[in-house]
Structure 1
Amino acid sequence: MEEPAYFSTRLTDDPRRAAVWEHIATYLSRWVDAEGAVLDLAAGRGEWSAAIDARRRVAIDLHPSLDELVPDGVEAVVGDATDLSRFGSGEFDTVVASNFLEHLEHDAIDRCLAGVREVLRPGGHLLLIQPNFALAPRAYFDDYTHRTIHTDTSLSDRLGASGFDVVHVERRFLPLTMRSRLSFGHRLVPIYLRLPWRPFAGQMLHVARRP
């Protein structure tokens, strides 16, 4: 995230968040190589990367105390997730990001996606969880750090234009905020994800493959 103060208002330390991410990571495990390396962009407290079953897990975020925030077993890299030049070409099998691109201006998004394509191995996957403006236009800018708008259609087009093959899209994936996900209890998350139509959804899922 772009400012440490953001953590105090939107990313509070709540142990229930980790439980929610365990369920989400299990659901998404079909696109993650358990023997490979995963990079978590703008990782926050690293709950998603910590929940992923992989040989190596790396979290990058601007927060200066990232190494104190991420759980054990996750490598912390303090830095700008739109500049991945510190990593090698094809170093990662999977790249994940939750609620990140909407905080960036368009040129930074293009730079980030170009970097992701470089650090992903051929055949590797990019997993994006993002607010879907088409589902939550009124609440979209309740987060004061949101800068750009995406819908499931526009994000698919953007990924294609950035050199990725979009292999899976869920237009209605999760409720808009973590607070709303926690409100109905983490044990209901797997049930929610099995629903053919998910009420109150405001987030979308995109899975893209690097050719």
Structure 2
Amino acid sequence: MKFRQGVWKEIVRFVKKDTGNIDSLVELGAGYCDFINQFPAKSKTGFDLNPERKRYAAPGVDLRIEDASVMHNIKNSSIDLVFASNFLEHLTCEELDRLLPRIRNILKDKGKLILLQPNYRLCADHYFDDKTHQTIFSDENITGFLEKYGFSVIKLIPGLLPFSMKSRLPKWPVLVRLYLMSPVKPMAAQMYISAERK
């Protein structure tokens, strides 16, 4: 568990370069809360369907066990950043059609949507090893997909991280930081997308 926290600490550092200081964060599919627990924001709300995840949320994190596409009690135009890691590919087209407009509605003007996604182009052989993957995303289709819902892609890195935490990603934080900074990333199969509400 500690190695996960160390890895996510460096991912938080990387993401924060694109967000600057923010007041409000929503994370979709928060899981073990490794990102939301460590990201500096005054208001932090996470969504996950697994009630077991509640025990991982740090004090000050409002982890809600509910469907992220609804996001009850999140006011429109109130959120600076929506973050999701390995989340969208688990949704059907119909679910995505409900979720993306909701994300856009809750974001402030110029609010950011940041995604870490498996890049099908770089991991086609393993993409459906996870039987819950429903939808294919790659660096070739993600920009058009997000533009359809009113987002502008500001940054797209086709390969930022290995396919999963089980990959041979270095576990020491300083090595993770060097990996993220390096122009050469062996086994990188997850893309990084920073988009902005139009």
TM range (shorter): over 0.9
Measure, in 1, the Cα distance between the counterparts of 2:128 and 2:67.
23
Measure, in 1, the Cα distance between the counterparts of 2:101 and 2:34.
25
Measure, in 2, the Cα distance between the counterparts of 1:128 and 1:37.
16
Measure, in 2, the Cα distance between the counterparts of 1:141 and 1:184.
25
Shift in alpha-carbon separation, 1:73–1:128, aligned structure 2, 3 A = same
Match of 2:12 among 4, 14, 25: 25
Residue 183 of structure 1: how far off its partner (Å): 5.1
* Matched residue, 1:200: 187
Secondary structure of the residue that 1:65 maps to in structure 2?
helix
Shift in alpha-carbon separation, 1:105–1:179, aligned structure 2, 3 A = same
* Matched residue, 2:71: 84
Question: Normalising to structure 2: TM-score of the pair?
Answer: 0.94
The superposition leaves residues 123-157 of structure 1 with CA deviations (integer Å, 9 ceiling, x where unpaired) of: 11000000000000001111121111110121111
User: Structure 1 counterpart of 2:90, which letter?
Assistant: H
* Matched residue, 1:10: none
Measure, in 2, the Cα distance between the counterparts of 1:141 and 1:51.
30
* Matched residue, 2:113: 126
* Matched residue, 2:124: 137
Paired residues of 1:33 and 1:94 also in contact (CA < 8 A): no
* Matched residue, 1:112: 99
Q: Which moved more, 1:107-116 or 1:77-86?
A: 77-86
* Matched residue, 1:36: 23
Percentage of identical aligned residues: 34
Shift in alpha-carbon separation, 1:134–1:35, aligned structure 2, 3 A = closer
Shift in alpha-carbon separation, 1:85–1:73, aligned structure 2, 3 A = closer
Question: Normalising to structure 1: TM-score of the pair?
Answer: 0.89
The superposition leaves residues 72-113 of structure 1 with CA deviations (integer Å, 9 ceiling, x where unpaired) of: 231111111122243110121000000000101011112111
Gaps of 5+ in 2: none
* Matched residue, 1:62: 49
* Matched residue, 1:9: none
Paired residues of 1:113 and 1:162 also in contact (CA < 8 A): yes
Measure, in 2, the Cα distance between the counterparts of 1:158 and 1:72.
35
Paired residues of 2:6 and 2:172 also in contact (CA < 8 A): no
Match of 1:93 among 47, 59, 80: 80
User: Structure 2 counterpart of 1:47, which letter?
Assistant: D
